[in-house]
Amino acid sequence: MKPLPLPADYHTHTYLCRHASGTPLDYAHAAAARGIAEIACTEHIPFPNDPTPSIRMPDTDFATYLALVREAQQAAPCRVLLGIEADYQLDLVQGHIQAVLAQADFDIVLGSLHTGPFWNLAPDDPAATPAFIEQMNRTYYRRMTELARTRLYDVCAHFDVVKRAGIHAPEPLLKEIVPPALDAVAEADMAIEINTSGSDHGAAEAYPSQLILGMMKERDIPITFGSDAHDPSQIGRYFEEAIALARAAGYTHRAEFRQRRKTLVPF
């Protein structure tokens, strides 16, 4: 039997966020060269009065982003979806995030958490005591539950990025605090991506872990694949390994998105 082509890459960035390079068309060309038939552009959502403007695309570039994605959709050698990675932030949900999502006909909206002590922690940080790690993880998964309950998002991005620095919470703790977040994701009818960027971080493995993938399968939470590429050369990184992880957890299908509606397709 002919092997299936690589799955769609539903997590990519562009130069507009100020910490990545390439245009949507550059990513589309890289995807076609890698044998990937579909990508989603999912640039970081702009925030008002952004305290960290090097993390997200500025408000003033939003129209440019839409134009660049449209241009790629016309000219690219693969299918290009219009997406966005919208950070969850409680005080911005009602007003700002909803307003941005209403401004364009998105195919896919990623929900993610980027703020918290986990982001810049060093693995040997003396602050990272067992109590600190437990608190950090409890807070993180509580916020992930809140994110799912907003019903604003289609896919959880890098679901367990709290392990980014390579500080992994003990398994008994994860078995206590992750299931409520997964239940909220399942109730919200969201998917969770297998984000392969974790293999290039201190975490040294994909987001989420095999343990969490197993818990997702028990709840029939659909998956997508995402490289979180911040350079066109990263398109589809470690996708062969991610497919093996998904298969080991029992997955045979992934979610495909069109205008925020999902269907399941084999991978």
Q: Choose between 112 and 137: whose C-beta lies nearer to Zn ion.
A: 112
DSSP-derived pairing of the beta strands 191-195 and 155-156: parallel
* Helix or strand (DSSP H, E) at 109: strand 108-112
Task: Supply 49's token pair.
Answer: 């009065």
Please give the C-alpha separations between residue 125 and each of 130, 175, 232, in angstroms, as whole numbers.
Answer: 12, 25, 32
Distance CA 168, CA 178 (A): 13
Instruction: Report the residue closest to Zn ion, judged by CB.
Output: 112
Task: Supply 227's token pair.
Answer: 């490289």
**Distance in Å, CB of 19 to Zn ion, minimum:** 6
79: three-class secondary structure by DSSP: strand
Judged by CB under 5 A, which stretch of 64-72, 104-112, 166-174, 198-206 contacts Zn ion? Answer: 104-112
- Give 164's DSSP letter: T
Are 78 and 36 in contact, with CB atoms under 8 Å apart? yes
Judged by CB under 5 A, which stretch of 23-31, 110-118, 213-221, 231-239 contacts Zn ion? Answer: 110-118
Contacts of 34 (CB under 8 A, 6+ apart): 6, 235, 236
Contacts of 115 (CB under 8 A, 6+ apart): 87, 89
Residue 209 interacts with Zn ion (CB under 5 A)? no
Q: Choose between 38 and 87: whose C-beta lies nearer to Zn ion.
A: 87
Number of residues that bind Zn ion (CB under 5 A): 1
Q: Choose between 25 and 155: whose C-beta lies nearer to Zn ion.
A: 155
Residue 112 interacts with Zn ion (CB under 5 A)? yes
**Distance in Å, CB of 42 to Zn ion, minimum:** 9
**Distance in Å, CB of 3 to Zn ion, minimum:** 29
Judged by CB under 5 A, which stretch of 33-41, 112-120, 214-222, 234-242 contacts Zn ion? Answer: 112-120
Point out which residues pair with 255 in neighbouring strands.
264
Q: Choose between 112 and 227: whose C-beta lies nearer to Zn ion.
A: 112
**Distance in Å, CB of 74 to Zn ion, minimum:** 25
Residue 12 interacts with Zn ion (CB under 5 A)? no
Q: Choose between 115 and 259: whose C-beta lies nearer to Zn ion.
A: 115
Q: Choose between 176 and 234: whose C-beta lies nearer to Zn ion.
A: 234
Query: Contact positions toward Zn ion, by CB under 5 A?
Result: 112
